[in-house]
A and B are shown apart, each in its own frame.
Chain A
């Protein structure tokens, strides 16, 4: 994005954003029963996903070289990062609705970049509890694994969480960019976004070559949680995904955003307007 507002170069750029967020939070919490149900549902989704992992691990000691403790850490990092990205950026997946209704053109009337407007137009507060589930898994995962704590490890974890969140946020933006071409086939990008979310909680070592190509490198999902965890725990990693790649999590975020901004730019240029 070329606009200084998004980079924060202009002082006080966040004041309007804060006003928008406050109004969105008020709007979403005004139907209290519905909002409480949303919060509870988010927790339940997280718990069910954990239960699915637990059911498999009841019968086996390790999957793809990860025991239950290690996979809990993978789940914690992946889920925290994805849910945080979803909270701040996830609503860009409503773009097809604007495209179909022709209401996207309204955004063009305002003196801000389209992407910045879409990202800052909403915040999905109900994801907060989902982040809570992810963080709980992360904390428990850190506690039950044998980690040689040091300032470097703490810094590594912080960098990984930020990079993974950015990777998922980039994934949302890339998917939105492609929507300009697909419009009606949003499930195609869901394959990568939500398939990516599911893939991120798996031990990537169980993947065959096509999946390694797709979620290991093209869409660098393996870099969000699996590779950092095997690097952190000193585990061997997989054939095409050696554990030292875990240190390159920030590169995955850079790569995703390069693709995302390219996809977005191409999509915006392709867009012809809603007519009228």
Chain B
């Protein structure tokens, strides 16, 4: 992974000083765009991901609709249409929301090339997150949209048509993508201390998927487990954006859950920032 987005005539730090904030935005905008282009380069992988997401989507829909039918047409507040929307929307978001915990940064910390990133006049956390989010947002095109179209055409999914609801849903989805990469940054940043982060990554994969509601909506959990899930940022990765997009949660309640997402983004960002500061002092790169 390169932090500079392709050949440039001048480095971002040499840009005209039009205020730190606008420089920051422009640089990170470019990183986001370069990540987006990078995602576009792997078409085969995107197609493979789509096939996998669709297959799992059909399996999830079958078992969840059977559960709703067995519950007499209603299961924990979900009717058939709502559970179908849940299954397909979760599959659509899965290509962009990182529930696997893997990033290039973990490899760069392991092989020491992160030392180069730390020399750049850019914050490692914001720069890598911008690139990874850009890459993930590209995945919405080959993996997210086709699944939503498929869900509507074949799966019988219905979505709200009210522009305000959809706009809030889109915002919620973007926050979920951002939050996931801020969380995965924490996973990678443990490498400043441990070098090898595979164990933490696998743990993240197991826990985040379950508590985000990847296979079963978090709202169907028993009370104690639901409370436990809500104490973590994970429901904000899938359950919340799905609830907002599908209109299951609307009005002031929708604004509330999106507010919770924003709070998690801020908190996880702050933790990542502190870890970066502490970690760059701990980092030991071997070799010359």
User: Residues of A at under 8 Å CB distance from B?
Assistant: 31, 33-34, 37-38, 41, 44-45, 48, 51-52, 55-56, 58-64, 182-192, 194-195, 198-199, 202-203, 206-208, 210-211, 214-215
* A38 smallest CB distance to B (angstroms): 7
* A127 smallest CB distance to B (angstroms): 13
24 inter-chain pairs at a CB distance below 8 angstroms, sorted by A residue, are A31-B196, A38-B198, A38-B202, A48-B209, A52-B215, A52-B216, A56-B220, A58-B220, A61-B70, A63-B70, A64-B63, A182-B48, A184-B44, A184-B45, A185-B45, A188-B51, A190-B52, A191-B52, A198-B56, A202-B62, A203-B66, A206-B66, A207-B59, A207-B62
* B74 smallest CB distance to A (angstroms): 9
Q: Complex formed: what's the CA distance from A241 to B210 in Å? A: 31
Report how many residues on chain B are interfacial, defined by Cβ distance under 8 Å: 38
Query: With A41-B206, A187-B45 given, can you name 11 additional A-B contacts, CB distance below 8 Å?
Result: A31-B196, A34-B196, A38-B202, A48-B207, A52-B210, A59-B75, A60-B70, A63-B67, A191-B55, A191-B56, A194-B52
Q: Are A185 and B202 in contact (CB under 8 A)?
A: no
Write out the residue numbers on chain A whose beta carbons fall within 8 Å of the beta carbon of B24.
none
Q: Are B70 and A195 in contact (CB under 8 A)?
A: no
Q: Complex formed: what's the CA distance from A31 to B194 in Å? A: 13
User: Nearest B residue to A47 by beta-carbon distance?
Assistant: B206
Write out the residue numbers on chain A whose beta carbons fall within 8 Å of the beta carbon of B54.
191
Q: Complex formed: what's the CA distance from A189 to B207 in Å? A: 25
Write out the residue numbers on chain A whose beta carbons fall within 8 Å of the beta carbon of B270.
none
B224 at interface by CB-CB < 8 Å = no
Q: Complex formed: what's the CA distance from A159 to B215 in Å? A: 31
Q: Are A208 and B221 in contact (CB under 8 A)?
A: no
B150 at interface by CB-CB < 8 Å = no
* A41 smallest CB distance to B (angstroms): 4
Q: Complex formed: what's the CA distance from A33 to B196 in Å? A: 11
* A213 smallest CB distance to B (angstroms): 11
Write out the residue numbers on chain B whose beta carbons fall within 8 Å of the beta carbon of A190.
48, 52
Q: Are A62 and B51 in contact (CB under 8 A)?
A: no
Q: Are A188 and B47 in contact (CB under 8 A)?
A: yes
* A1 smallest CB distance to B (angstroms): 28
B163 at interface by CB-CB < 8 Å = no
Q: Are A199 and B75 in contact (CB under 8 A)?
A: no
Q: Are B75 and A38 in contact (CB under 8 A)?
A: no
Q: Complex formed: what's the CA distance from A148 to B222 in Å? A: 35
Q: Which 9 A-B pairs have the closest CB atoms?
A: A185-B48, A187-B48, A37-B199, A206-B66, A188-B48, A60-B70, A184-B44, A191-B52, A191-B55
